[in-house]
Every structure is written in structure tokens, then in C-alpha cells.
Amino acid sequence: MSNLTRHDPLEDFFRGFFVRPVEFGSNVAADAPQMRVDVKENPEGYEVLAELPGIAKDDIHVHIDGPVVSISAERKQEKEVKNGERVLRTERYFGKVSRSFQLGQEIDEGQSSASFVDGVLTLKLPRKPTAQAKRLNIS
């Protein structure tokens, strides 16, 4: 006669779930957040939405070079520690983040605009008008 044992995988999962220590990564560079962006195309040009929570508007820089758009930002660490207070753990990221990407056409820098509301940078990037080929008359 064989011995059958009932096995419940959920029971094994939850056994010890609450007694395991929680591991936190210690490699700050690997934990650096990525700037999340959405890029949309419309008939006039492009719209870019970039998530930059906790960053001041003055610490965001956008550079346009033809079809290449570069966004960089820096979150600065507050060093304020009150008397009798000590920091036990810091998990928020402080430092620089940047993204660069190439769009399908050159951007008209003079007509481009940027706004920053609730941690989201919105770029309106109209296409540069394409140069029309000219036919020269020979005199």
C-alpha cells in the first residue's frame, strides 16, 4: 500500500512568510530610478510626457538638437536633521537622471514648449517644416 500525502503549495508559501527578513538592495547605482517617458506623435509633431516626481522645475533641463531630444534632471538631497533626530534609513534616490531619444523628424526648437505640473514634464515638439526643393531658372 502506498502512502499518499496531501501537498498544498499555498500553505508552503505562507509558512514563514511573515518571519523571513526583508532584504533591501544596497547598491545605490543599480537602484537609481529610470525616467519614464511616453512619446506620442500627432499631425503637428510630437508630445513627450516624462515622470519626474520630487524634482524642482529649476533642476530640469531639456536640449533639442535636430531630431534628438535630451532630458536631464537632478534631485537634491535635503541635509536637514533636527536636534536629537537621527536618520535610521534612507531609501529615496538623490542624484541625476537623464534620457535621450531620437524622433523621426527634426524639431522646430523655436516653436517648442515645455510645462511641468504634478511631477510630469510635458514637451510639445512641433516638426520643423521640410525644405522644399527649388527649381532654379537658368538665365
Q: What is the CATH number of the domain that holds 45?
A: 2.60.40.790
Count: domains in the chain: 1
Closest CA to 104 of 56, 36, 26, 40: 40
Indicate whether this model's pTM tops 0.75. Answer: no
Q: Is the pLDDT of residue 22 over 70?
A: no
- pLDDT tens-digit readout, 60-119: 999 999 899 999 998 887 777 777 788 777 777 788 889 998 998 899 999 999 999 999
Q: Which structural domain range is residue 48 located in? A: 32-77+95-128
For residue 121, is it within any domain?
Answer: yes
For residue 12, is it within any domain?
Answer: no
